[in-house]
Amino acid sequence: MGRWKPGAGDRLREAALSLYLERGFEQTMVTDIAEQAGVTARTFFRYFADKREVLFDDSADLEEKALTVLDGLPATTSALDAVAAVLDTVAQMVGGDRELARKRQAVIMANADLRERELIKLTSLSAALADRLRQRGIGDVEASLAAETSIAVFRVAFSRWATATDDQDLQNIIHQTLDRLRTLATSR
């Protein structure tokens, strides 16, 4: 296996994020990332298809887990409760390391192409959630609305979490944000 070491994926991810932040995403080469992580470029490509995928490689996994959660819920679960359960799972997946999330967020916000990619990822997740909600027998409009709303709640909660100065976890912030949506939607 040559220079391959256990944990190389995590080291590559950290090296990549630090370099993207320092030098900018465009200016960072795969060889720079590999060097900083103490591996070869060939090892980099065992983990990631390209330097953009370091930032987005978890999205297929995220979507799959989100849909699995939906499938496991009782048939009587309301659309918004279903979405809340999905958001809980997403929070567990992406809410573990705030420092990493903060760096990733800063890198993405600094680059128009990456911002687009992130938007597309969330939109595709929303479409997949809406489809699965429809399969559960939830009406067309309710399904789309619940899915789109969950993305809205996630975006607001995630950005609050990533920029917060206190130590709240993402799951808590998502719960609060959902509650605020409930209040917002009912106040006139």
| Binding stretches for its own copies (CB under 8 A) | 78-81, 115-116, 119-120, 123, 140-142, 144-146, 148-149, 151-153, 155-156, 159-160, 177, 180-182, 184-188
What amino acid is encoded at 61 in this protein? Answer: D
Residue 41 in contact with residue 53, Cβ under 8 Å?
no
Helix (H) or strand (E) segment spanning residue 107:
helix 98-109
Nearer to its own copies, 18 or 149 (CB): 149
Alpha-carbon distance of 182 to 174, in angstroms, equals 12
Of residues 80, 82, 73, 101, the one with CA closest to residue 169:
101
Compute, in degrees rounded to 10, the torsion defined by CA atoms 90, 146, 158, 23. Answer: 90
Give least dist CB 37 to its own copies, A: 31
Nearer to its own copies, 26 or 140 (CB): 140
Nearer to its own copies, 1 or 112 (CB): 112
Give least dist CB 145 to its own copies, A: 5
Give least dist CB 158 to its own copies, A: 11
Nearer to its own copies, 7 or 183 (CB): 183
